[in-house]
Amino acid sequence: MAIQRDNELVTQTIARARRRRAVRPFALVLPGLAILVAFFFIPSVYNIWTSLQEISLFQIRRGGTFVGIDNYLRLFRDARIGLALVNTVWWLTFVTVVARIVLGVVIALLVNSSSIKRWRLSGFARSCLLIPWVTPEVVAVAAWQWMLHPRFGVLNQMMIQAGVISEGIPFLVQTSTVWFAIAVVLVWRELPFVAISVLAGLQSIPAELYESAAVEGATKPQILLHVTLPLLRPVLGIIGLLITIWTFNNFLYVWLSTRGGPGNFTQVLATELYTQAFTNYRLGYGAAIGVFMTGLMVLFSLVYFRTVFRKTVEDEAR
């Protein structure tokens, strides 16, 4: 009997230990899940619920009127949203993302070149490269506004003195130049992230691959096209996804530069959301714009993963 009781105690002890081991991972993950639920899931659900209501900013405590998908139907009929969507997809996102990736690869190749290393300028080049990145966005936009000023801006003054123009160009006011000016500000401020990330990818490529390609008689352009760029594809894929999402949702550059002007010419979805929710006090409509932006980014991310990363996996499998 004593032996049987001892066996039962041992069995119960082992069972309790197994239960504790099974519960421990969930207990460790629980604080992180609680933070995600509190700061991401609940606000997202509340935003979706708000988008289904006709509610003013001053009616939050009392609650609004449930209107279903009326805000979304109004969104697709709104010409301002159409203009903002085109500006967001083309000017704000596509143009600046492509420019940053191309310039980032070029700058990373220059910083990683043998000439820079031979003259021991790698550290200096990286330090200079980080200057725009460590500059606050507000300061960067303010500095560029001064440089692009039609009367006092250094860029206009240089062109006038060089005889290129006779009077200053209002870069941030006229429709023919305003988007190029915003793109320059954004690319200048955000380019270091791409360049540093690509530089890290370049330094992870084994030197033996370059030596083998050189021994086989490959030229430098051939090595770039058939060795460097294919091996950088995973890095460029991640960078492209991140900066696309960040830029698509960006509010500061356009708002601080032009506040959506001249007129509504440079309105993007983020500034339109802010205008509708906090200037026109149509909080439900603003929430619908936010949900629409989220849906577009989720769709883009799914398509992007299926095309870019599946191709990378297939290339590695070969």
CB of 172 closer than 8 Å to CB of 259: no
Q: Tokens representing 86?
A: 């085109």
Q: How confident is the model over 208-217, as a mean pLDDT?
A: 85
- Judged by average pLDDT, the poorest of 113-122, 150-159, 260-269 is 113-122
- Judged by average pLDDT, the poorest of 60-74, 97-111, 164-178, 301-315 is 301-315
pLDDT of residue 17: 67
Q: Which residue has the higher pLDDT, 213 or 139?
A: 139
Q: Does residue 288 carry a pLDDT above 90?
A: yes
Q: Does residue 184 carry a pLDDT above 60?
A: yes
Q: Which residue has the higher pLDDT, 189 or 313?
A: 189
Q: pTM for this one?
A: 0.85
CATH class of 66-317: mainly alpha
pLDDT of residue 140: 94
pLDDT of residue 243: 94
- Which among 240, 301, 311, 273 is positioned nearest to 94, based on CA atoms? 240
